[in-house]
Structure formats: C-alpha cells, structure tokens
Amino acid sequence: MKPHIRLATIEDMPRVLELIKALAEFEKEPHEAELILEDLERDGFGAQPKFVCFVAEVDNKVEGIALVYGRYSTWKGETLHLEDLIVSEERRGLGIGSLLLDEVVKYGHSLKVKRISWEVLDWNEPAIQFYENKGAKVMRDWDVVQLNEKGIETYLSKL
C-alpha cells in the first residue's frame, strides 16, 4: 500500500513515541530519550503547540514521522527546524523518508521560512547521502553545542 502523509493527531502519539525510542536505540543513546507520552500530548496539542508532526501511514499503521518547530535566525529571520525524521526500520528504502521530507519542505514554504535546518550524525552515511541527494547542504565544519539539564544547573551554579 502507498504511504499516506498527514498531520499527526493526539491518538498517534503512542506510536510516535515508539519511533522516537527506536531512533534513540539506533543512535546508540537509548538512555537519552526521556520524553514520555504526556509530554508529546501536552506539547503538541495544547493551547499553544510547540511542534508540528507529520506522520506516514502504511496499512493503517504509522511507519514514519517528521517533527518540526519554528526558530528564528539572526541572519535569515523565520526558519523551521526538523527535529527528527524517522522511518521504522522495516519500512526504510520504500520512499517514506522522501515523502515526509517533501511534506516538511512544502510546510516550510507555506510558512515562507528562509531556511529549514536539521542535524545528522556524522556516522550516518545513508542519511547524509539521502539529504545531499535532495539538495541539502551538510555543514561538516559546524559542531552542535548543547547544555543538558545538569549542564544548565552547573552553569547557573557558577553565576
């Protein structure tokens, strides 16, 4: 059956969470996926949603997601951040990732954003090839910088 791309509903969030946890396993960091179902439901479907999620449905089962949210660039203005594009392992190679990325780009265009950005692990060569083949620029000279919760607390304790 052909994948159907649509906006996620709150009812999709249990499966979305499963795919997020599967991605954490794939990325060798299962302990980092701390998000719980209630977080997704509250943050995606409350009075002021913090993200938009597209799902790819095959045979009435969600087999892929693309989760995005708005950002602001001091150089470009409004941008869109693709937090994760996930396709279930058993459905990879069937074009689902392309369909989800297509939807993200159409959505960003409809918002008139100046850029869509995301990260990819440097060892994930299939994903890098996929993005480059789509025309994305993988900026290998930039590093991702983060403060986790403990890092935030440590930082603040030194002020």
Residues designated catalytic: 131
The alpha-helical segments, DSSP class H, found in 53-146 are 96-110, 125-133
Using DSSP, state whether 141 is helix, strand or coil. coil
| Cβ pair 124, 89 in contact under 8 A | no
| Cβ pair 104, 118 in contact under 8 A | no
Residue written as token pair 């449905």: 57
